[in-house]
Structure 1
Amino acid sequence: MPVNSSTDILIREIRPEDNAAIAEVIRAVSAEFGLTADKGYTVSDPNLDSLYQLYDEPRSAYWVIEQDGRIAGGGGIAPLCGAAASVCELQKMYFMKSLRGQGVAYSLALQALTVARSRGFTHCYLETTASLTRAVSLYERLGFEHIGGPMGSTGHVDCEVTMLKTL
């Protein structure tokens, strides 16, 4: 799905050959925002190098964003581990600087929420960190509300911002 006609930006479903590129984006963006082990963040994610396989499951989906033919971001949904079957989680939303401020994250999140509804989810949960102020603002604009604590069992011990949206 084309997003912006002024540049070559495309949102599409992840493919197996995208694993290395999206893992590189996630690592680069994490480092850019200081979300690294040397700053006290838990950065070990055993699934990071195999996102296609992780999201190639019923009711899960992950999209990558191509910019001028290169992977520059992505995000997805999956059932929230340890929660009711009606709750999904918005996951691994990462965008290179070149994509920010163009509405790409908003478009991808809307697409993910639409797919979540179509797959029978009634609520969407997310976790992030307060230092990602633009992300928190985006989620608030999308109608996510802050909740008092974590849901499910995500393993994201560093994410102190927890939010939920009724779909």
Structure 2
Amino acid sequence: MSKDTIVIREIEQKDDPKIAKAIRSVLIEFGVPKVGTAYEDKALNCMTETYSKPRKAYFVVEKGNTIIGGAGISPLDNYDGNVCELQKMYFMPEARGKGLGSKMMEKCLAFAKGAGFEQCYLETMPYMDDARKLYRKVGFESIDKPMGDTGHYSCSVWMLKDL
């Protein structure tokens, strides 16, 4: 693979420190609180292990040997129903504006459907405009309150999509 080739693939153990660094970097860039958000998730340091369980997957965007983004699907925590959550979808500046968000959404939602989920839920911040635009474009709709209990109490925008 050339250094300019960009691929979306399942996460591997070697990616764990790279994706943790990328996610935290994007959160800092956007001024997201470090508490009550993905920033403090213990899973960030062991993503491969976290997403190796049934009905879970995490995909990374790789350019050359650099991880420039990622997103995952997991059953929604603390929720009684057949709903998954789009988790930890973040892209470094060099990954934005290239259509990678749409490709990642396609991959994640295809996985969610294949895993048999009926709906997909997500949480985000009100000032992440480009992300919310993308979510709406693929069919997510705003809802009035959070579902389940993800521990991300600082996120104040909740969205849901029927699969």
**Normalized against structure 1, the TM-score is what?**
0.91
Give how far 1:106 is off.
1.0
Runs of 4+ in 1 over 4 A off after TM superposition: none
Give the letter aligned to residue 32 of structure 1.
E
**Normalized against structure 2, the TM-score is what?**
0.93
Q: Superposed, which structure 2 residues align to 1:13-162 within 5 Å?
A: 13-37=10-34, 42=37, 43-162=39-158
Instruction: Provide the rounded CA distance (Å) in 2 between the counterparts of 1:114 and 1:85.
Output: 19
Aligned residues between the structures:
160
Instruction: Provide the rounded CA distance (Å) in 2 between the counterparts of 1:35 and 1:153.
Output: 19
Residues 33 and 154 in structure 2, CA contact (< 8 A), matched pair in contact too: no
**Cα gap change, 1:153/1:101 in structure 2, threshold over 3 Å: closer, same or farther?**
same
Give the letter aligned to residue 90 of structure 1.
L
Residues 59 and 70 in structure 2, CA contact (< 8 A), matched pair in contact too: yes
Q: What per-residue deviation string (whole Å, max 9, x for no partner) do you get for residues 12-52 of structure 1?
A: 00011110000000011111111144xx7654211111111
Root mean square deviation, CA, Å: 1.5
Give the letter aligned to residue 12 of structure 2.
R
Q: Specify the alignment match of 2:9 in structure 1.
A: 12
Q: What per-residue deviation string (whole Å, max 9, x for no partner) do you get for residues 62-103 of structure 1?
A: 001101231110000000011234100000001000010111
Residues 73 and 94 in structure 1, CA contact (< 8 A), matched pair in contact too: yes
Gaps in structure 1 of 5+ consecutive residues: none
**Cα gap change, 1:119/1:41 in structure 2, threshold over 3 Å: closer, same or farther?**
closer
Residues 141 and 160 in structure 2, CA contact (< 8 A), matched pair in contact too: yes
Q: What per-residue deviation string (whole Å, max 9, x for no partner) do you get for residues 105-145 of structure 1?
A: 11111111011001110100000000111111110001000
Instruction: Provide the rounded CA distance (Å) in 2 between the counterparts of 1:144 and 1:41.
Output: 23
Residues 19 and 49 in structure 1, CA contact (< 8 A), matched pair in contact too: yes
Task: Answer 1 or 2: higher relative contact order, Cα 8 Å, separation at least 6.
Answer: 2
Aligned partner of residue 42 in structure 2, secondary structure: coil
Aligned partner of residue 40 in structure 2, secondary structure: coil
Residues 127 and 162 in structure 1, CA contact (< 8 A), matched pair in contact too: yes
Instruction: Provide the rounded CA distance (Å) in 1 between the counterparts of 2:12 and 2:80.
Output: 28
Percent of aligned positions that are identical: 45
Give the letter aligned to residue 88 of structure 1.
C
Gaps in structure 2 of 5+ consecutive residues: none
Residues 79 and 85 in structure 1, CA contact (< 8 A), matched pair in contact too: no
